[in-house]
Amino acid sequence: MHISEGIITGLPALGYTAVAIGLTAVGAKKMKDFITENPEKKPLLAMGGAFIFLLSLIPIPAFTGTCSHPAGSPLAAILLGPWIGLTLTAMSLFLQAAFFAHGGFSTWGANVITLGVGGAFCGWLAFKA
């Protein structure tokens, strides 16, 4: 579930964002290398990003009056690797904050860490176990 805009502010928001930008930059480099080594997998990469984006737009009502949503990060990480799953999640979260008011820009870093790092790396590790 996205952390709503304004829940995390100030220095914690900046800290999360700085860490998320660093992790996303590492993932973007790995994504570029992946595309260079596997140009035939560009459609899979695009579908992974679209899958994460669309799946997280499906609301599931929660008992507290809020709603949650399914996460596509684990499947993208299983198919493409955890760093690429993280980067696709970061890109998806940015677009969702910009166009659908899901999450927000002040909480983007925290959302990347919880949904991207948590979803992609934990899903990938569980699959490998």
* Structure confidence at residue 65 (pLDDT): 67
Taking 3-state DSSP, the helix, strand and coil percentages for the chain, each rounded to the nearest 5, stand at: 70, 5, 25
Contacts of 25 (CB under 8 A, 6+ apart): none
Q: Which two tokens stand for residue 13?
A: 């928001």
Q: Is residue 102 within 8 Å of 94, Cβ to Cβ?
A: no
CA–CA dist 10, 63 (Å, integer)? 30
Strand partners, 61: 67
CATH assignment of 10-128, among 1.10.1760.20, 3.40.50.720, 1.20.120.80, 3.40.1360.10: 1.10.1760.20
Q: pLDDT digits over 46-80, tens only? A: 999 999 999 888 888 877 767 777 888 999 999 99
pTM recorded for the entire structure:
0.90
- Quick one: average pLDDT of 81-106? 91
Per-residue model confidence (pLDDT) at position 2: 75
What lies within 8 Å, CB to CB, of 119 at 6+ separation is: 71, 73, 74, 77, 85, 89
Q: Where are the domains of the chain?
A: 10-128
